[in-house]
Amino acid sequence: MSSQTSSVNGNCLGWAATDESGVLSPYKFTRRNLQNDDVSIRITHCGICYADVGFPRNKAGNAMYPMVPGHEIAGIVQEVGPNVHGFKVGDHVGVGTFVNSCRDCDYCRDGQEISCEKGAIYTYNHVDADGTITKGGFSSYIVAHERYCFKIPEGYPLASAAPLLCAGITVYSPMIRHKMNQDGKSLGVIGLGGLGHLAVKFGKAFGLNVTVFSTSLSKKEEALSLLGADNFVVSSNQEEMTALAKSLDFIIDTASGDHPFDLYMSLLKTAGVLVLVGAPTEVKLSPMSLIIGMKSISGSGTGGTKQTQEMLDFCAAHKIYPNIEIVPIQYVNEALERLIKRDVKYRFVIDVENSLK
């Protein structure tokens, strides 16, 4: 253990929402004491996810205030419990969307803790096993069981690692599960935001031919030149969409706005799959869109610990970096408003280390 116990056990600085306005402001609180299997992490960076818009504004109806958001956490180990063997002081680590689970069900034993039969404990706004309310990464440090911490590979920038802990694993996990890592296959990506731009990057790293679908022609240049997509289609262009009928092996759908599913299903080859990682208000399609051509539609959230570590290592090995805009924590409310307007390319990351004082 390190000798930094006194500093760790003091007040934690953060920014919290105190009501359904979702407006964040400075807030002091105390983290739990370090347990035998815990890692204490000095947070250097935290990504801003769209969940950080909705939960503080009580869109899910389960808000517990004060709420400290943030579940794309990157930082440096400042203390470890006596039973911790996987991390040491000074290691670069990350924490994602969950910080606890039963550790005993089939899913937990298989490293798929996000699907824990008793329910994964989310990184913020959730009741932990000890009865405390979890608080996220818009704060100076966090204490977490080592099982839910991830090694950030040496030399990989902490600011770039942060968005991988939610946005990255959200697209990587279903891509692996549905065997989208097959060189030469074709992938469609619907939407070009925080999730979509990483789906493009993973797709290219897997050797796929990637087509981006967007409602905005203005994103064509960035999709092709900046992110390396092979094709770009404006989804409202009926002629371009029809030309792609039965041409795609896979589609990753990151769009949260309502859109027509039958049209996109028609673009899949026989036995093709569309994976929904965005959250439109409803999914409507004709049964024949699935029956003819043996097609399927699937949903996916984030991934478990085993796959998250695999994804981080893959990104380091293949030099995959999210496109980010780094902001001070004092800018967080403006950043959230810009995120609502989709005015970010492609993920905000808070520079916690240099701005939270």
DSSP string, 306-347: HHHHHHHHHHHHTT----EEEE-GGGHHHHHHHHHTT-SSSE
| pLDDT surpassing 70 at residue 10 | no
96 and 229 co-located in one domain: no
88 and 180 co-located in one domain: no
**CB-based burial, 167-185: b 16+ in 10 Å, e otherwise:** bbbbbbbbbbebebbeeeb
93 and 159 co-located in one domain: yes
DSSP class of residue 115 equals G
**CB-based burial, 197-210: b 16+ in 10 Å, e otherwise:** bbbbbbbbbbebbb
- Which residue among 283, 299, 315 closes a domain? 299
135 and 186 co-located in one domain: no
187 and 84 co-located in one domain: no
Let me know if residue 314 belongs to a domain. Answer: no
Closest CA to 102 of 114, 126, 118: 118
152 and 179 co-located in one domain: no
CATH of the domain at 293: 3.40.50.720
Residue 94's domain comprises 12-165+323-351
- The C-alpha atoms of residue 258 and residue 339 are separated, in whole angstroms, by 18
Let me know if residue 244 belongs to a domain. Answer: yes
81 and 58 co-located in one domain: yes
CATH of the domain at 80: 3.90.180.10
Confidence of residue 1 (pLDDT cuts 50, 70, 90): very low
CA distance readout (Å), 333 to 16, 255, 260:
11, 23, 33
51 and 95 co-located in one domain: yes
| pLDDT surpassing 50 at residue 251 | yes
200 and 292 co-located in one domain: yes
- The C-alpha atoms of residue 52 and residue 55 are separated, in whole angstroms, by 6
154 and 193 co-located in one domain: no
| pLDDT surpassing 70 at residue 4 | no
227 and 328 co-located in one domain: no
112 and 148 co-located in one domain: yes
Give residue-wise pLDDT tens across range 127-178. 998 899 999 999 999 999 999 999 999 999 999 999 999 999 999 999 999 9
Let me know if residue 307 belongs to a domain. Answer: no
Q: What's the total number of domains in the chain?
A: 2
| Strand-pair partners of 149 | 95
Q: Which residue has better confidence, 54 or 279?
A: 54
Confidence of residue 216 (pLDDT cuts 50, 70, 90): confident
Let me know if residue 308 belongs to a domain. Answer: no
DSSP string, 258-305: ---HHHHHTTEEEEEEEEE-S--S-----THHHHTTT-EEEE-----H
